[in-house]
């Protein structure tokens, strides 16, 4: 992939940070039972690793043709979720177009890997048809359309970023999960109620332990913005 090597390293480092953060979201959700979109966090981990490998070849960590299979299946999976979403069926995400942007991102990843593989095969063949193969592999119009669509989603995500509630606000209105606690007297047990008169006005660490507070939606959107910018940059390099 072309472009300045220092810029490629910056974007690759950013993608590694995003992948690592999304991996910690999955781990935190599993350990602390906090809600998050596991499918989106998982695909962000894969995208971050894949894009880092495309930008800096020495960071490549998958077999030849493996990423095409991964993102082909991911595109079909998110397309099915988007269809269910537009039919009015309940899906994880909760906002219109949530899965559609991931169909676009997975499709863009699939296009980039297919185009790069075709170009590599044409260059290795060294035949007189290699120029034609390179030209048909890139499909500049499709790359440009994908890049503009991704940048459009970046602007949309950046615009709604301030409207998302911070974790502190989500924690304040989270519904506590009933926690079994031993009564102070006797050997019986009682449930700590959410609406109890003795409930603390300011939830502390122990009070929040029984609450299912979602992981930060703002940071999740920041990951989508970073990936959209990086993916758009990579598509422009392929024009």
Contact indicator for 74, 34 with CB cutoff of 8 Å: no
pLDDT tens, per residue, the chain with 239 residues = 678 999 999 999 999 999 999 999 999 888 888 888 889 999 999 999 999 999 999 998 877 788 999 999 999 999 998 888 888 766 555 555 678 999 999 999 999 999 888 877 776 665 444 444 444 456 788 999 999 999 999 999 999 888 887 766 666 665 554 544 444 444 444 434 444 444 444 455 444 444 567 788 889 999 999 999 999 999 999 88
Contact indicator for 22, 48 with CB cutoff of 8 Å: yes
Q: Quick: pLDDT tens for 190-231.
A: 434 444 444 444 455 444 444 567 788 889 999 999 999 999
* pTM (predicted TM-score): 0.76
What integer pLDDT is reported at residue 99 of this predicted model?
Answer: 85
Q: In whole angstroms, what is the distance from residue 10 CA to residue 93 CA? A: 30
Q: In whole angstroms, what is the distance from residue 43 CA to residue 99 CA? A: 12
What integer pLDDT is reported at residue 184 of this predicted model?
Answer: 44
Contact indicator for 12, 49 with CB cutoff of 8 Å: no
Domain range summary for the chain, segments of one domain joined by +: 5-237
Question: What integer best gives the mean pLDDT of the chain?
Answer: 78
SS3 of 120, please? helix
């Amino acid at each position: 992939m072309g472009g300045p090597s220092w810029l490629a390293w910056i974007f690759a480092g950013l993608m590694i940070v995003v992948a690592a953060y999304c991996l910690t979201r999955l781990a935190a959700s599993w350990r602390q039972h906090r809600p998050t979109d596991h499918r989106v966090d998982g695909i962000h981990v894969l995208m971050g690793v894949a894009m880092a490998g495309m930008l800096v070849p020495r960071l490549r960590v998958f077999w030849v043709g493996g990423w095409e299979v991964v993102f082909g299946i991911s595109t079909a999976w998110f397309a099915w979720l988007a269809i269910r979403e537009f039919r009015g069926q309940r899906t994880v995400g909760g906002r219109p177009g949530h899965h559609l942007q991931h169909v676009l991102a997975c499709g863009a990843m699939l296009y980039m890997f297919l185009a790069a593989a075709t170009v590599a095969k044409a260059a290795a063949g060294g035949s007189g048809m290699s120029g034609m193969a390179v030209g048909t592999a890139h499909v500049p119009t499709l790359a440009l359309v994908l890049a503009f669509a991704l940048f459009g989603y970046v602007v949309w995500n950046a615009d709604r970023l301030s409207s998302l509630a911070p974790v502190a606000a989500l924690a304040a209105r989270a519904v506590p999960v009933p926690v079994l606690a031993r009564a102070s007297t006797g050997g019986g047990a009682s449930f700590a109620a959410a609406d109890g008169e003795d409930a603390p006005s300011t939830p502390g660490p122990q009070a929040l332990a029984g609450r299912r507070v979602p992981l930060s939606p703002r940071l999740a959107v920041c990951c989508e913005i970073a990936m959209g910018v990086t993916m758009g940059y990579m598509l422009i390099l392929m024009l």
